[in-house]
Structure 1
Amino acid sequence: MDETGALDEALQRLHESGPERLGRLTNHAPMAVEALAARGQARAVHRWLDLYAPRLEDFPSGVEPVTAANWPEALGDPRRAADWIGYFSHEVAERDWREVLAQWWPRLLPGMYGGSAHPVIRVGHAVRTLLAGESTAPRRAELAHGLGYWAARHHPVPGLAPLPGAGSATAALDAVTPISAREGGFPDRLGRIRGLPVWAADVTDPDAARRRLTELVRAATHRYATHGHGEPTMLVHAATAPNAVLRTLPALPRALWVPSLRAAWTASAAVTAMYASDAPVPFTPPGTFTAEEVVERALAHGDEHVIKLTDTALDTGDRPALAAALRAIDLSEPLS
């Protein structure tokens, strides 16, 4: 993890900005700079952020403070993003951040689909930083911003019918039926999902849940290489959302691991249903690349989703995962 101070400086810069822009698009910069720092590119963090900065918007105004008494009525209200971030900023300043996370994770987990799953991904990046190094004020504040964004965009998806599934994560993702009408944004498409294949529903042991979650992240990352052309940006989240959950498990009580697996599967399968192509396209990378070379290519490309998928691919660490990262570079528009 970054020992230069560049990540903390970048987070301080970013906490002057809101979690979204244009009323609906996510501010990806906190996640991307953490990924770059974690992959040995701390010296490039500010240079990348300077390129991304025109997309940032000022921190939003508050409506009414969120309290221990009124939080249920504020949950899922995007107008209350500043109020929620203020609430969690106070919480992580006064209490151990793990305690705050453990209290709120089961409350927020059912609504991880709001904000196109970006809030849970942001939390996953923040938790990794806290687990990997010193619990600095900017890093605790980043967790508060991520949790606050999640609470403001909290959006459950109830009533999904269980459909025939498969034994492996790869086969279960292949069993996902694409929605028939694939126009509109994430909320519109999410509302058209009526059922998803069953996978890992019989898991009750926390260690088994962690193994299955690892399997899911690997399968979704590999699948991007052959299916990412369906929607190169949004399909990234089929891998990065469950990986955010996987990264958070070590900071959570073991009793929360099984429900975390189930929520992560639903998110990955839902993104697959909304955006995956109807048929795979074979992809073979042009040559052999090391992990370091793939990171450098992702940084040179600059797109925030490319950087985050590359980061997840390195967690998986095998050749098909690196191929998926290279595929994202080929399919995505570079940051300019």
Structure 2
Amino acid sequence: MDTTSPTLGEALQRLHASGPEFQGFLSNHGPMAVEAMVRNGQAGTVHRWLDTYENKLEGVPGARTRITDANWPEALGDPGRVTDWTAYFTDLVAERPWREVLAEWWPRLLPGIAGAATHPVIRVGHAVRSLLAEGEDAPRTAELAHALGYWAARHLLLPAAVRPAGGATPAEALAAVPRIAEQQVTPVRGYAQLPSTPGWLGITESLHIPDDPEAVRAGLTALVRAATLNYGDYGHGNGIMLVHAATAPNAVLRTLPALPRELWASSFAVAWAATSAITAIYAADTARPAPDASSLTPEEVFERAVANGNEHAIKFADTALDVAAASEDGDTRALSAALNAVRLIDE
């Protein structure tokens, strides 16, 4: 990332003139996509991409009633209060260090990771990555406030409490996740089927959550890898929605360094529950080979995602590049998964 470029700040300021959703429930991916583009050497395409993407966005919703330290619980999970929430967090990060605000609110928001198909936590992850890598400035801090406000407004619990206490690795547990009976459903309707899906809760609780924070980081890294590779095989179940099985836990992984270490284990557990839920709802039943990326560099794969233009292809490629960078020499399966997203989202 070119730390001297003003592109990200300019893009975020443009996007903060729009609301976090459009057409009633679709998430504004702009802040996430432009951060990924700048991060991966595509800053020169950001404003041109935004010129097209902004056409679908809508204005900031009207404010209702001021949220305070005393009345916030009654507004949690109310999407109609999203502008109130953004104002509340904007005030908090102006008064206190952003890391302090994040540490206080993370355990309050984390149980509601399922809201808006996990887009709020993904937006937080991109905002935190930018702050950690490039430092604090007005647009990046404002973006964190917008992301936290969106999460608070869309806070949603899964319909079953998940308490992982088994011995399975992320790859083992993910491979065993059963599929819901009804396909091609909204996330909320899919979540509602999870408690009655045979074996779903037991498999989801089979994951091993270590006590040591560094082991937690390693486990969460393994989860992101497993979910990314799983998309390569099963993404054709729903090429857009299944990307979140990987991008949501990666958002949590990116946020870990900014959080107190005592919050890491619970973060891993909740991220896994979200991945398991999305996989059960949107992964295909049978595997299908992904395109071969062995002749391409990571930069070329990301360029293909940007050329595709779809925000989900861009975000997933960003996560796939993280996985590829940590993979053993010669393992291009994560890059193949990213090409699969480009192919599936193009269909």
1:269 aligns with 2:276: yes
| 1:158 shift after superposition | 4.5
| 1:23 shift after superposition | 1.0
Q: TM-score, normalised by structure 2?
A: 0.93
Which residue number in structure 1 is paired with residue 254 of structure 2? 247
Which residue number in structure 2 is paired with residue 5 of structure 1? 6
Q: Distance in 2 between matches of 1:59 and 1:191?
A: 30
- Trace 1:320-331 onto structure 2 (pairs within 5 A): 320-331=333-344
Q: Distance in 1 between matches of 2:182 and 2:163?
A: 20
For the Cα contact (< 8 Å) 1:169–1:199, is it kept in 2?
no
- Which letter maps to 1:226? D
Which residue number in structure 2 is paired with residue 299 of structure 1? 306
Q: TM-score, normalised by structure 1?
A: 0.96
Q: Secondary structure at the match of 1:191?
A: helix
Q: Distance in 2 between matches of 1:161 and 1:152?
A: 22
Is 261-270 or 152-161 further displaced after alignment? 152-161
Q: Distance in 1 between matches of 2:215 and 2:162?
A: 24
1:20 aligns with 2:21: yes
For the Cα contact (< 8 Å) 1:129–1:139, is it kept in 2?
yes
1:225 aligns with 2:238: no
Q: Distance in 2 between matches of 1:171 and 1:107?
A: 29
CA offsets per residue over residues 29-68 of structure 1, 9 Å max, x none? 1100000011011111101111111111001101101100
| 1:284 shift after superposition | 4.1
Which residue number in structure 1 is paired with residue 152 of structure 2? 151
Q: Distance in 2 between matches of 1:4 and 1:333?
A: 31
| 1:330 shift after superposition | 0.8
Q: Distance in 1 between matches of 2:283 and 2:166?
A: 17
Which residue number in structure 1 is paired with residue 54 of structure 2? 53
Q: Distance in 1 between matches of 2:164 and 2:323?
A: 28
- Which letter maps to 1:238? A
CA offsets per residue over residues 210-233 of structure 1, 9 Å max, x none? 110000000000111110000000
Q: Secondary structure at the match of 1:192?
A: helix
Unaligned residue ranges in structure 1 (runs of 5+): none
User: What is the number of equivalent residue pairs in this alignment?
Assistant: 334
Unaligned residue ranges in structure 2 (runs of 5+): none
Aligned-residue identity in percent: 55
- Which letter maps to 2:338? A
For the Cα contact (< 8 Å) 1:34–1:129, is it kept in 2?
yes
- Which letter maps to 1:332? I
CA offsets per residue over residues 70-106 of structure 1, 9 Å max, x none? 0000000000000000000111111100000000000
Q: Distance in 2 between matches of 1:161 and 1:64?
A: 34
Which residue number in structure 2 is paired with residue 176 of structure 1? 177
Q: CA RMSD in A?
A: 1.6
Compared CA separation, residues 286 and 208, structure 1 to 2 (3 A): closer
